[in-house]
Structure 1
Amino acid sequence: MTALGLASPLELLDELKRKVRALQRLQFQVVEIIGALDQQGAAETLGYKDLIEVFKHTLRWDPKVSRRRIKQAQALCPTVTPTGSRIDPALPDVAAAMAEGELSEDHVEVLAEAMAALPAVAEAHVVEYARQHEPRSAKAFCKELAYRLDQDGPEPKDQEPAPSKNVVRRQWRGGRYLLSADLDAETGAKLDALIDPLAKPEPNDPRFAPEREGDALCEVIDLALRAGGNRIHGGERVQLTVTVDYDKLRTAIGTALLDNGEHLPMNQVRKIACDAGIIPTLLGSNSQIYDVGRKTRAINAGLRRVLVARDKGCAFPGCTRPPKHCEAHHIKFWSEGGKTNADNLVLLCRRHHDLAHHSDWQIQMANGRPTFSPPTFIDPTRRPRTNTIHVA
């Protein structure tokens, strides 16, 4: 390779990818050696209590690092029984991907934790996802997969779990009022719906997010005092978006999805439905939401609800941002004749909205859903991708 100072950004990225893959292959070889040492009982042979103490003295690893890598070795390396039989590793697909240099140690830690709660058949799917996304996104995918595999929740005959208690702690100290709360998902979502619009940063706003949210909470308190016996926010209750299957709502079995990505037990959803206006979303035969096009650039509340129901958050592949952190992006720019309707809009968080405007990522609609084609330096074939975390 040419001198780093003379290389182009794409050349540097290609070289970095090669180095990282080589490093991850080397990390797997380290894990294999640790697995062999563990299998041979090397610590006892050397007079040590365990390998953690061995590594502390020979490699100068902190115990936390040693425990992490020993745990990885136990999941990724085959074992040999006292009779000489070879037993395949607990996570063979994860081991193979790390051996190829496709997964980092952080990926392995996330997938090993997730597979403890998933059936073995899910391993191929989570590994395929992790090959294309960062560990944080892989963790969210595994969480969503676990929900999908057990979406019906407990059998009807099972006793309902005891309702969680809402706890608020208040204390005056040094002329300041200290407040902490532990609330259920329903109340937390309502509070988020109140605070988030008021906590948006103003132009040249010097406040950090905790300070903006604190000021927003003060505004909510003022609104409540001024509202008196009236409803807050123009005489209407705060609105939540809840995506729910009608049959599940009717039978009170399973969970529904809030617009912040959290799952809510059906008994709580039924409680919300008793005291809320129902805004139906008509779905087509392929779960496609019908067009509610508008001739203006602005996205009204009804159209945004349609986008929330379809995208369920930032539609960019691997992003976990919920709808409340997203903006509606015109796939074909409005200034270039693009329409303001569901077929030309996609929810994107601020980071990925900027990316859509300033990079070579391309967005298209396929079967009523947004797909994303990466730049060639990420994937030379530009294979389209979707956000499988938010799939309906």
Structure 2
Amino acid sequence: MTALGLASPLELLDELKRKVRALHQLQFQVLEIIGALDQQGAAETLGYKDLIEVFKHTLRWDPKVSRRKIKQAQALCPTITPTGSRIGPALPGVAAAMAEGELSEDHVEVLAEAMAGLPSVAEEHVVGYALQHEPRSAKAFCKELAYRLDQDGPEPKEPEPVQPKNSLRRQWRAGRYLLSADLDAETGAKLDALIAPLAKPEPHDMRFAPEREGDALCEVVDLALRSSGDRIYSGERVQLTVTVDYDRLRKGIGSALLDNGDHLPMSQVRKIACDAGIIPALLGSRSQIYDVGRKTRTINAGLRRVLVARDKGCAFPGCTRPPKHCEAHHIRFWSDGGETNAANLVLLCRRHHDLAHHSEWQIQMLGGLPAFRPPAYIDPLRRPRTNAIHVA
């Protein structure tokens, strides 16, 4: 190819993609050799306890690296029975994708762990997702897929296990106050809802996240001291966003989705519902509160609730950021005549909001849901993608 210094960014990206694909193919070939050594009992033949010790001396690999590669080889390589029969790999779809150079070792690690708890028919779906997303996002997708396949969870056993109690450790040390807490999901979500908006970085904010969150906790303490009774802010209790199917809530089965992506048992949801205002949001309603039109570019509380119920967080493909970390983005810019309504708005985290403004990614509504067309250098056909993690 052209000298790197003279190549354009797209030429460099194309060359990088070719190199990385070749690297993944080479990594698969390495796993094939490891699988063959494992099948042949090479460690015992060479006088070693196991292959980990062999690789420590011959390849100078740390035991952690060796264990990872051996485990992956066992999942992706065929095995030979004592009678000489050949049995295909445990994860044939993952093996084929890595052999083509489409998946990395990090992808394989995530998918192998996930498939241990999923039926074999799910492999096609998790591989298809991993081919378009990074390992971290694939892990979130696998977690959500496992939940969808078993929403009610395992059958309850008798007697019911004792729920762990909330615990808090407080200690003064050298003029500092140390806290350590172990809280239930409901209380943790409430505390998170208080801290998150106060810990949001301001322009030119040089504090790291732990310092911002520590300062935010101090603000929460000050708010509590200034409040009357149990009122925290403007006379209202802390608000949580809980997405729940009404019939399941009424029957008390299954679980609901918190805005941080975790699932809350329905028994706790019913308890919250007894002590909170329930605000119904009818998607597709023509009520004026959900359609600001051209009057203003800002959205009101009712319209944001509609977006949260529909997008359930950042709508960008593969993103796991919850609604509280998202901003409403006009698909057709308000300055270009776009209206402020659900059909022209999408929830995006700050990173993907910047991407929508400064890159070639395009957003459109398909079937009432936001879809994203990647730049041609990612997908030459620019096929639309949606966020399969947030179920609409």
Query: TM-score, with normalisation over the residues of structure 2?
Result: 0.96
Q: What residue number does 1:110 align with?
A: 110
Q: What residue number does 2:240 align with?
A: 240
Instruction: Kindly report which structure 2 residues correspond to 1:271-290, keeping only aligned pairs within 5 A, or say none.
Output: 271-283=271-283
Give the AA of the match of 2:291: G
2:377 matches 1:377: yes
Give the AA of the match of 2:364: Q
2:269 matches 1:260: no
Give the AA of the match of 1:173: R
Q: Does the 8 Å contact 1:303/1:342 carry over to 2?
A: yes
Unaligned runs of 5+ in 2: none
Matched residue SS, 1:280: coil
Matches of 1:161 and 1:257, distance apart in 2: 22
Matches of 1:64 and 1:70, distance apart in 2: 10
Matches of 1:300 and 1:51, distance apart in 2: 62
Q: Does the 8 Å contact 1:283/1:290 carry over to 2?
A: no
| Counterpart among 291, 294, 312 of residue 293 in structure 1 | 291
Q: Does the 8 Å contact 2:283/2:306 carry over to 1?
A: no
Matched residue SS, 1:389: coil
Matches of 2:287 and 2:348, distance apart in 1: 20
Matches of 1:302 and 1:165, distance apart in 2: 36
Note closer, same or farther for the CA distance 1:260–1:231 as it changes in structure 2 (3 Å cut). same
Q: Does the 8 Å contact 2:169/2:181 carry over to 1?
A: yes
Q: What residue number does 2:168 align with?
A: 168
| Residue 157 of structure 1: how far off its partner (Å) | 7.8
Q: What residue number does 2:317 align with?
A: 317
Matches of 2:333 and 2:161, distance apart in 1: 49
Q: What residue number does 2:304 align with?
A: 304
RMSD (CA atoms): 1.5
| Residue 229 of structure 1: how far off its partner (Å) | 1.6
Query: TM-score, with normalisation over the residues of structure 1?
Result: 0.96
| Residue 80 of structure 1: how far off its partner (Å) | 0.6
Give identity over the alignment, percent.
Answer: 85
1:300-337: per-residue Cα shift (whole Å, max 9, x none)?
22211111111011100011111111111010001111
Matched residue SS, 2:202: coil
Give the AA of the match of 1:59: L
Q: What residue number does 1:39 align with?
A: 39
Q: What residue number does 2:194 align with?
A: 194
Note closer, same or farther for the CA distance 1:239–1:60 as it changes in structure 2 (3 Å cut). same
Unaligned runs of 5+ in 1: none
Q: What residue number does 2:216 align with?
A: 216
Give the AA of the match of 2:64: K
| Residue 161 of structure 1: how far off its partner (Å) | 3.8
Moved over 6 A (4+): 288-291
| Residue 232 of structure 1: how far off its partner (Å) | 1.2
| Residue 156 of structure 1: how far off its partner (Å) | 6.8
Matches of 2:325 and 2:334, distance apart in 1: 22
Matches of 1:159 and 1:271, distance apart in 2: 22
2:52 matches 1:13: no
How many matched pairs?
Answer: 389
| Residue 274 of structure 1: how far off its partner (Å) | 0.4
Q: Does the 8 Å contact 1:195/1:213 carry over to 2?
A: yes
| Residue 260 of structure 1: how far off its partner (Å) | 1.1
Matched residue SS, 2:389: helix
Matched residue SS, 2:278: coil
Note closer, same or farther for the CA distance 1:30–1:24 as it changes in structure 2 (3 Å cut). same
Give the AA of the match of 1:338: G
Give the AA of the match of 1:307: L
